[in-house]
Structure 1
Amino acid sequence: MTDRPLSSREPRPALPELPYDAWSDTLDTLHLFAQIVGKVKLAATHPQNHWWNVTLSVDPRGLTTRRLYANGIFFDIAFDFIDHRLVVRTDRGETRTFALDGGVSVAAFDRSLHETLAGLGVDVPLLEHPFGIPHLDTPFPEDTEHAAYQREYVERYWRALGWSADVFQEFMGWFTGKASPVHVFWHSFDLATTRFSGKRAAPRADADPVTAEAYTHEVVSFGWWPGDPEVRRPAYYSYTAPQPEGLAEQPLSPPQATWVNDGGMAVLPYEAVRTDEDPRTTLLAFLQTAFEAGSRAAHWPAEELTSNWCPTSDQLRALARAGLHVR
């Protein structure tokens, strides 16, 4: 067993401020860039359950597709948020890059990526339109409006994303049931990970194919998103699907965590974590209490799904109490 949740082993991280309104134009541009790369991954990977084949992964310099395949060639695509370039590599030893900043519009990014892929022999056809972003609906080749790219805020986003992914990775190690990777869905541009009870869920009435595949089984999901026009601040979240009765009556830690959307989602502002004296413990407390809320309300055999790395019951109770120190 580990005592890490009760005694952080890392120096207090310098988590950056990330006010949505200060960089929303850059965020929209970056989101659209990620959708284009994500659609390449959709076209160049084998399908996997719950759409896990389409997601992006956090790496030491940004985001990566990991391995893709087209025309007999393995390749990958990475966003390098240190040098602010897009990088494409193949198994033939070739590497091509182009800049992300300097006024690159979505249309220019789309064109440059296809030209780069074609030059390497791995281009694939795409549905050249944003998916599921109500306020962004211009086809990629026509979008010359979105070209904002503030290096400072992209780097802030990346630091917050990378740190959050590491905490999520620790938390997911406490679970021995079926679980997703810690990954980024380019649909809503959120960092996410999911635990499964192992039971099938009733089919959702009139669900679209994406939703139907995502929710074939009972889940408790967790994530972090940088904000959008509806939720204009970065925040951590958790939800249980199907939503069980009494979910919103379950306690959460720390006190800044609340139930929203008629009790269907637990939310903790990123700012509450960023400014805390022990951000890791505070975030772990939120993730654990949100899981306990969902698994308890949905009657999961939670104790049967704990791994050898999961803290003891006493440690978990102490973890929940530790989340109460948030300023």
Structure 2
Amino acid sequence: MSERLHTWPALVYKDLAPMIDYVNRVVQVAGKYTLDEPFEVGWGNIVLEVTPRGLSTPTFRQGGVTFVVHYRLLDGDVVIESDSGSRTLPLSKGSVAAFFASFCAAAAELGVHRPHSSLICEIPDAPPTFRDDQVERTWDGDAARLMWTALDLAADGLEAWQAPFLGHRPRVGVMWGGFDLSATRWRAQPTTPPPHAPPFQQNAQLDAYVSVGFSFGDAKAPNAGMYAYIWPQPDGLEGRSWGVEGAAWHPDAGLVQLPWDKLRETPDPHQAIVAFGDAVYEAAVETAGWPSDLVGPRVDGWYMSRTPPELVEH
């Protein structure tokens, strides 16, 4: 890990915004296939994995075809891989509408149906569908690599935070609608979603959860960094320590936030993400009655392979 401590780059939203907007739209194309899968609590079924070269869907088995879609951010292309072959689509230039048409044609050649929906979701001021997005876009390889690097580093920290949790926890991945990296811990405690929230949000809030993640920010709040919140939001979050210098509770947003610039300044950003997540879960225990015994020991796999279960501390 020490070799990676110097690889945490600066993130300037205005420089990344065109590519964030572009990638957010195109990943939704293959992301729609996840909606065909059995629903997992909190939409755990929809996340895209951060891979060595980009973002990937889960493996799908639909209509006699097994396939996966890999958005290779470091290569500027999209690979549809199936049991009958593969197709590669460039992202070098063109509109989202043109990409959608090319994607559907390539998928059909592999026996994969087109996505059941062409709606663009959760992006303010976006056209209603992929077919309506005619804006010409150009791929920025440097920005794409910077985005991947940030996602990869944040995912590494969030996976380490999640490892000892003994309850239900969907895999760490990118929620393709809001385009944030999410790590969520759940417990079977039914809650009442906001009545006027969109259906996807209401379905996400059927039970209590603690969410820690990473976001690039947006036009209204152009600051990348870690975020966290507890659902339902408890009282007593003001004035708490959140494990890392620079992390703070922002009641207007309903979020605990750790700016990326503050994270980069810590001696070990990877461990800082773990400490941030631990502090958020501790707040859930102390203010919302979450059980402390749902978190086991945080040890590496080699330790566990050598240690009899009765000697492991809980």
String of CA shifts for 1:202-249, please: whole Å, max 9, x gaps. Answer: 343334321121111111100001121121021100000100111223
String of CA shifts for 1:151-175, please: whole Å, max 9, x gaps. Answer: 1011011011011111111110121
Q: Is the 8 A contact 1:70 1:124 kept in 2?
A: no
- How far is the alpha carbon of 1:274 from its aligned partner? 2.2
**Following the alignment from structure 2 to structure 1, what is the Cα–Cα distance between the partners of residues 115 and 244?**
46
- How far is the alpha carbon of 1:280 from its aligned partner? 1.4
2:45 is paired with a residue whose SS is helix
- How far is the alpha carbon of 1:276 from its aligned partner? 3.0
Query: 1:316 is matched with which residue?
Result: none
Q: Determine if the alignment matches structure 1 residue 39 to structure 2 residue 32.
A: yes
Unaligned runs of 5+ in 2: 301-314
Superposition map of 1:180-259 within 5 A: 180-259=170-249
Which AA in structure 1 matches 2:68? D
- Greater displacement, 129-138 / 12-21: 129-138
Superposition map of 1:67-146 within 5 A: 67-92=59-84, 94-101=85-92, 103-145=93-135
1:54 is paired with a residue whose SS is coil
2:94 is paired with a residue whose SS is coil
1:188 is paired with a residue whose SS is coil
**Following the alignment from structure 2 to structure 1, what is the Cα–Cα distance between the partners of residues 223 and 213?**
14
Q: Percent identity?
A: 30
- How far is the alpha carbon of 1:88 from its aligned partner? 0.6
**Following the alignment from structure 1 to structure 2, what is the Cα–Cα distance between the partners of residues 153 and 283?**
23
Q: Determine if the alignment matches structure 1 residue 179 to structure 2 residue 169.
A: yes
Which AA in structure 2 matches 1:137? P
Q: Is the 8 A contact 2:127 2:133 kept in 1?
A: no
Which AA in structure 2 matches 1:71? G
Aligned counterpart for 1:151 among listed residues 135, 141, 145:
141
- How far is the alpha carbon of 1:273 from its aligned partner? 1.5
Aligned counterpart for 2:52 among listed residues 47, 60, 77:
60
Which AA in structure 1 matches 2:296? S
- How far is the alpha carbon of 1:98 from its aligned partner? 1.3
Q: Determine if the alignment matches structure 1 residue 295 to structure 2 residue 288.
A: no
**Following the alignment from structure 1 to structure 2, what is the Cα–Cα distance between the partners of residues 68 and 165?**
22
Q: Is the 8 A contact 2:242 2:248 kept in 1?
A: yes
Which AA in structure 2 matches 1:261? P
- Greater displacement, 262-271 / 176-185: 262-271
Q: Is the 8 A contact 1:175 1:310 kept in 2?
A: no
Query: 1:14 is matched with which residue?
Result: 7
- How far is the alpha carbon of 1:83 from its aligned partner? 1.7
Using structure 1 for the length normalisation, give the TM-score.
0.86
Query: 1:271 is matched with which residue?
Result: 261
Q: Where in structure 1 do 4 or more consecutive aligned residues deviate above 6 Å?
A: none
Aligned residue pairs, count: 300
Q: Is the 8 A contact 1:248 1:264 kept in 2?
A: no
- Larger relative contact order (Cα-Cα within 8 Å, sequence gap ≥ 6): 1
Which AA in structure 1 matches 2:53? R
Query: 2:312 is matched with which residue?
Result: none
Query: 1:160 is matched with which residue?
Result: 150
Shift in CA distance, 10/177, structure 1 to aligned 2, threshold 3 Å:
farther
String of CA shifts for 1:136-189, please: whole Å, max 9, x gaps. Answer: 234211212151321101101101101111111111012112212101101100
Shift in CA distance, 21/131, structure 1 to aligned 2, threshold 3 Å:
same
Which AA in structure 2 matches 1:83? D
Q: Is the 8 A contact 1:28 1:146 kept in 2?
A: no
Q: Determine if the alignment matches structure 1 residue 284 to structure 2 residue 284.
A: no
Which AA in structure 2 matches 1:54? I
Using structure 2 for the length normalisation, give the TM-score.
0.89
1:191 is paired with a residue whose SS is strand
**Following the alignment from structure 2 to structure 1, what is the Cα–Cα distance between the partners of residues 233 and 5?**
35
**Following the alignment from structure 2 to structure 1, what is the Cα–Cα distance between the partners of residues 126 and 138?**
14
- Greater displacement, 257-266 / 149-158: 257-266
2:290 is paired with a residue whose SS is coil
- Greater displacement, 208-217 / 25-34: 208-217
Q: CA RMSD in A?
A: 1.9
Aligned counterpart for 1:48 among listed residues 35, 40, 47:
40
String of CA shifts for 1:33-78, please: whole Å, max 9, x gaps. Answer: 01112113324x2333322222211122211112113321111100
**Following the alignment from structure 1 to structure 2, what is the Cα–Cα distance between the partners of residues 273 and 65?**
28
1:107 is paired with a residue whose SS is helix
Which AA in structure 2 matches 1:264? G
Aligned counterpart for 1:23 among listed residues 16, 24, 29:
16
Q: Is the 8 A contact 1:251 1:293 kept in 2?
A: no
